[in-house]
Amino acid sequence: MMEIDKLVSIVTKQVKERLEAFENRKKVLMLGNCDNISFENLCGMFESNGFALCDTENYKNEPGIDSYEFVVITKSKFKELLQREKPEDNAAKLKDTPCSDTVKGCRIDKKIVTEQDIQKLIREDCRKIIVGRKTIITPLALDSAKVGSIKITRE
């Protein structure tokens, strides 16, 4: 019976810690123009649920993307970011970086890291990725990295 009480105590402590961490991350990074009606509705939904809306100016003062719970990118801003990346340059931006004798590491010099980038690195047996401080990593890319046991480090 004592072991169950101890387990309940440990689980309760973990839940409290996670809720506190979530409360500290109740911010949304909004990239793009808010001139679209559906985008305004989305902003209203976040605000009504207690999220603080932040723009690129706020992002410059933050320690990194991990301080945001959500990142919302408008279609026009996403197209703009994609146009800055030339497809033929993508292969050159994935570089091998020596990390240690046992872990193969790679550096990605892109503004946006996608799931496809992570899948390519998994196929190349890369287990550690170094990205820039302002690099945006899509949620699917983060999920792929977790599944593929890839550690992502920011400069």
- The chain-wide mean pLDDT, for the chain, equals 75
Q: How many CB atoms lie within 10 A of CB 117?
A: 23
Rg, Å, the chain Cα set = 19
pLDDT (0 to 100) of residue 7: 80
Express each pLDDT in 103-150 by its tens digit: 567 888 888 998 888 888 888 888 888 898 889 999 888 888 888 888
Express each pLDDT in 56-70 by its tens digit: 777 777 667 777 777
Domain residues of the chain, as ranges? Answer: 2-81, 85-154
Q: Which two tokens stand for residue 79?
A: 């197209």
Q: Which two tokens stand for residue 31?
A: 């990239």
Q: Measured between alpha carbons, how far is 26 from 67 in angstroms, rounded to an integer?
A: 8
